[in-house]
Each structure stands twice: as C-alpha cells, then as structure tokens.
Chain A
Amino acid sequence: MRILKRSSAATPLLCIVLAACTVAGQGLTFSGSMISDLMLLHNYRAEAGDEADFSGTGRLSLTFRNTNRRYGKVEGDLEVVTLYGVAAEAAAPESPAGFGALAANGAARLFSLGNAPVLLDLRRLYLEFYLPFADIAVGRQIVNFGKGFVFSPIDVFTAVDVFDLDLRRRGSDVATVRVPFGALSGLDATVELPVAGNRFSAAAKVFATLGAYDVSLVGIYRHPGEDQMAGREGVIGATFKGDAVVGLYGELVTRLVEGQRDIYPEAMIGVDYSIRNRWILRAEYLYSDYRWNERAWGEHNAFVSVQYIANDLLSLSANLLYDFEHDIALGTALARYNALQNVNLEAYVRGFSGITQLPYDFAYGVRAEVSF
C-alpha cells in the first residue's frame, strides 16, 4: 500500500477530478491504452530441472489533462493493473518481498478478482499554473534532470525502471518551480515533498544551450530526516548533450556526505548514432564510486542497445544492461509490429542473470497494445 500511504491526498484529489469530469462532461481530454502481457518464465537452473511458470499483466493506462491549458494544467496518469499466474501469487500480501514487489512494480493493491489481484498505480497527478515569471507545479510528476537513457546519476528523484519493458520512470511527489531566463535557458528548482521521517531531497538546475550543446549545472541537497544512521548529503553535477559526429551526452556528479571525508564521484557517458535511417545504436557507461549508502549500481556498468527499423511498421531491437561489479545482467530482444493505426504487437525475450529477487533465467512474452 506504499503508493497510497505516501500520497494520501492523491486519492481524494483524483476522485474530485474524475467526478468533475463526469459531471461537466468536458474540460478534460482523455487518452490511454490497454496493454496485455503474457509471459512464460523459465528457470533452467532449478535443482529439479527445467521449470516454467505462466505469468502476465493486464494494464489499463489512462492519461488525462485539461483541454484549456492557457493558464494552468491538470495532468495525470492512472493505471489499473491485473496480475496473472505467478505474478499474482507473488503479489499476494502474504508473499515475501522480492519478485512480488517487481510484479507489482510499486502499484497498490485495490482488491482481488478471484485469484487475480487488481492493483492501482498513480504514476502522475499534478497541477501546474503559469505565472508571468515562472511555472509552478505541485504533485506527482516525473522529474528528468539527467540526459541518460538508462543511467543518470543526477536523477535523484525518478530513476529509470530497468525491469519495465519500455524503461519508464516512476513519478515522485514534488513541487517544482521553473524560471525561464530565455527561450532555451532557465532555472528548475525541485523539492521532494517530505515522506516518512521528514526525509526529502531538493535540487536546482540551471540550463542553457551553447552552440550545438544543451548544458546544465545541478545542485542537490538530501536531508536524512529522522534517520540517525544517514547524514546530510550534497551533490553537485553537470550534464551535456550535443553532437560530435555521433550524438554525445554525459553527466558528472560529485557527492559529499556529512561525516565522510571523501567525495564520491559518479560519471556517465553515452553515445548514439543512426545509419541509413535503418540502424539506431546507443551505448552508455556509468562509473559509480558511491560507497556510502546502498546504491543501485556497481562501480562499472554498461548499457548497449541496437534497433533495426525494417520499415515503418516493423522494428527489431535488443539491449543489454550489465553491472560488472556484481555480475548482474539484464538483456532484452524485442520485435514490434504496428498492426493497425492504434494497435501494436510485440514479441520479446528477456534474460536475467544475478538478480536475486528474480528466480527465473528467461522470460518469453507477447504483448498487445491498443491505444485510444
């Protein structure tokens, strides 16, 4: 019930929004999709021999925003998720953490339909209003500070979910002020709304476009709140993205932790390139020397992806994520076909190695998506 506990105000606000929409019949624009994933999870190293389990999700994504956004905006992403097979069993309240948490992907349980739990995920819900000198947004949003496709040491608010097939991010409860200096420059200030124990983060980013490069300087403060074991933390960093024959982007971050004499650098460098409008190549490397708190990545990490666009309807892609220090690997091969105007079909294979929460080696899946 993590989502609802952290944002108890979100539920009544959401109800108000939806009720207003129902009564008024206008004012909000809706779009969304229904996605069904069916998977076979394969464990070929089980003691008893090959094991395979059925799993799946059904996800109704509903996005809404107000029609007239001249003075302000209300926007939200709501997802209703049903789990099937072992994912449903793992997400049961009595199940241990690990795979269940991955299956639920942060969503909160609403109720059960037979053996299938129905989950609710409020990915975004925020309001925004436009003053002459600044735009102010409050609520659950996705905050993008960095330039990385997967790795982004500077993104303290919303990291990429590498288990998500689309590499989406989760929302964070923040208040944001955006002050423009010019058409392509400005200041973004973001503060995380305090959670349990008054722990929060605050960040400021100054950005500009210099020639063919987008650059920014970032300062972040992390307050541990009532956690006696953690110290205050300061982070300073810089990002850039531009062209140097290939697309080139990167982040450099230094962390300073209260009570620690050392500074902890992290750096990400990435390149992307396309060939003949057919091949899109990308590679990222992350160096992390963050030894203080529990960290998501090892010291050396890499991500590579290749996409082949066969035609406007069919594309094939493959990517590999590897943590050299912990010997953790996550690979995905995927074929995507735009069957109809608003219908996509996908077939994929995912491989896992060294991921303790996931007791499987492979997942073979098919996905159907209908947008509306």
Chain B
Amino acid sequence: MRALTGNQFTAEGTAMRTLSLIALLAGAVAAASLSGEQILDKMDGNRDHRTVTADARMEIHIGDEVRSKNMRIKGMTDGNRSIVEFTNPEDEGTKYLMLEDNLWIYFPQEQEVVRISGHMLKDGMMGSDVSYEDALEADQLRNKYDVSVVGEQTYNERPCYVLELNATTRDAPYYKRKMWVDKETFVAWKEEMFAKSGKLLKEATVLAADTIGGRHFPVKTKMEDKLRRNSHTIFEMTNVELDKPLDEDMFSMRYLRR
C-alpha cells in the first residue's frame, strides 16, 4: 500500500504517477462534464467494499493535552454493521455495536449493554470530536442530500471539485456540507459541515489515503468540532483489510457481550 498525502507521491509511486497523469488526461474531457451525483458515485467507489477490518487510533487534542484511544474495527457494508472494541488500558474491553442507525455500548466491568438514545448520537464518541452520528453515517449522502458542483479549487496542491450538498431529509445530520474532492482519486480531502443558520459546525480533513485494491481509502483524518474551542481529533487506521471474509454473527448482541 502506498501512502498518498495531499501533495506528494512516494518515490516508488513514480510509475503510478505517470499512469495516473495519463489517465487524468485521457479522462479530462469526461471529468469536466461530471455531475455532482457522478462525483459522489466515484467517491463511493473508493468505499466500495463489502467488509473492512482495521486497527485504529483516535488522538483527541484538547489544547496542549492529548488523549488517545486504540481500537479494533470490523465492519460490513451490507446493513451498515460494525463492531468496535477498545484496546487502550482505560477502556479495555469496551465495545460498540452499530447496526443501521442503532448503537449499543458494552461495558465489560459492569457486564452491561446500554442502548445509546437518539439524542446522544450527536455527542462526541469517547470524548472526541467525532460524534456517534458521524461514525454511523454510511454511504448515504445521495439519499439525504442534493449535490451540485459549485466550482474547482486547488487544495494542498491537488486539483479538486468543490461540491455543495444541501439536506433533503430531516434526519440528515448536517443542513449543508461543502466538499473538496480530488479530481483524480475522488478522495474528499476536506469537508465542512454547516447548520441551518450557516454556522460552521465541523471540519474534516483527510491527512492521508492509502491505495488498497485499486481504491483510494482515507486512513488518516482530522476532525474539528467548531463548537469546541481549541479541540480536534485525529483518527488513523492501520492494517486495513478490505473484503476480508467476516462472520456475520459477530454483529450481534451475543458477540457484543462476549
């Protein structure tokens, strides 16, 4: 897997870069006429996987203080199912089970499963800037938003489409979103989320993306909750495996309590 940051390719990727440029030129005409929906489809192509397993680390930055959480993630696209187990000592054994829009947490010390109420889904997960709602949201942007291409900009030396998404359903977590999507890799390098009042609520920045099985998969993301002062969360995934066979039984209450 080669790491692509916003403005550099590794030395080993020179040949890939050349091929990418050729593909970029060959597709330039077609790319210029892409609609917002088509761009979203290509973004979804990067996430077109049946399963994902990964180790992850969440660094919560509060001023000069840093708190970290380590976890093991297993997810299945079908049914929007995932299970997360924390492995850092302070949260050892705590698990999350996400099924569609429902979330349960297992606390091993109390052997207790707690269903997270809907109003708490907007809270930060484990004290981070990433809300449960952000974590639950799957590839549903087209189902909840109208999307249009409002321009093109360069972001971190990468040519990008600028998309504007406006909510079409009441359960969309953000009223409006703005995305800077790489014209070549269709990675959304930057995203801004807005309230109905126009107030900027959150900003997500992809710091690194890996090429896995021909897909450009964001593996390091920075999330800032603009309502929290001087705070941001960096979420990094390692040992990412896509389409690895997973037992569907693990996304269940039974497995959660094991």
Q: Tell me, rounded to whole Å, the shortest Cβ–Cβ distance linking B256 to chain A.
A: 10
A180/B109 contact (C-beta < 8 A), A65-B93, A130-B258, A371-B89 known = no
The stretch among A86-94, A192-200, A242-250 that forms the contact with chain B is A242-250
Q: Which of A127-158 contact B (CB under 8 A)?
A: 128, 130, 135, 141-144
A247/B62 contact (C-beta < 8 A), A135-B258, A178-B257, A372-B89 known = no
Contact A313 B62 (CB under 8 A): yes
A247/B252 contact (C-beta < 8 A), A77-B109, A312-B62 known = no
The listed residue (A63, A241, A273) touching B119 by CB distance below 8 A is A273
CA–CA, A273 and B123, complex, Å: 11
CA–CA, A242 and B254, complex, Å: 20
Contact B257 A212 (CB under 8 A): no
A169 proximal to B (CB < 8 A): yes
A228 proximal to B (CB < 8 A): no
With a cutoff of 8 Å between Cβ atoms, the chain A residues found around residue B123 in the complex are 274, 277
Q: Which of B81-126 contact A (CB under 8 A)?
A: 89-90, 92-93, 99, 102, 108-113, 115, 117-120, 122-124
Contact B92 A29 (CB under 8 A): yes
Interface of A is mostly: strand
B186 proximal to A (CB < 8 A): no
Q: Which of A240-272 contact B (CB under 8 A)?
A: 241-243, 245-247, 272
A223 proximal to B (CB < 8 A): no
A243/B62 contact (C-beta < 8 A), A178-B257, A180-B254, A372-B89 known = no
Q: Tell me, rounded to whole Å, the shortest Cβ–Cβ distance linking A127 to chain B.
A: 13
Whose C-beta in chain B lies nearest to the C-beta of A182?
Answer: B252
CA–CA, A69 and B258, complex, Å: 8
With a cutoff of 8 Å between Cβ atoms, the chain B residues found around residue A246 in the complex are 117, 119
Interface of B is mostly: mixed
Q: Which of A93-152 contact B (CB under 8 A)?
A: 124, 128, 130, 135, 141-144
Whose C-beta in chain B lies nearest to the C-beta of A273?
Answer: B119
Q: Which of B210-258 contact A (CB under 8 A)?
A: 227-228, 231, 249, 251-254, 257-258
Scoring A residues 53 to 70 as 1 if CB is less than 8 Å from chain B, else 0, what string do you get?
000000000010100010
Contact B253 A186 (CB under 8 A): yes
CA–CA, A167 and B220, complex, Å: 38
Contact A184 B252 (CB under 8 A): yes
The listed residue (B124, B131, B227) touching A312 by CB distance below 8 A is B124
Q: Which residues of chain B have a CB within 8 Å of any CB of chain A?
A: 60, 62, 65-68, 89-90, 92-93, 99, 102, 108-113, 115, 117-120, 122-124, 127-128, 131, 227-228, 231, 249, 251-254, 257-258
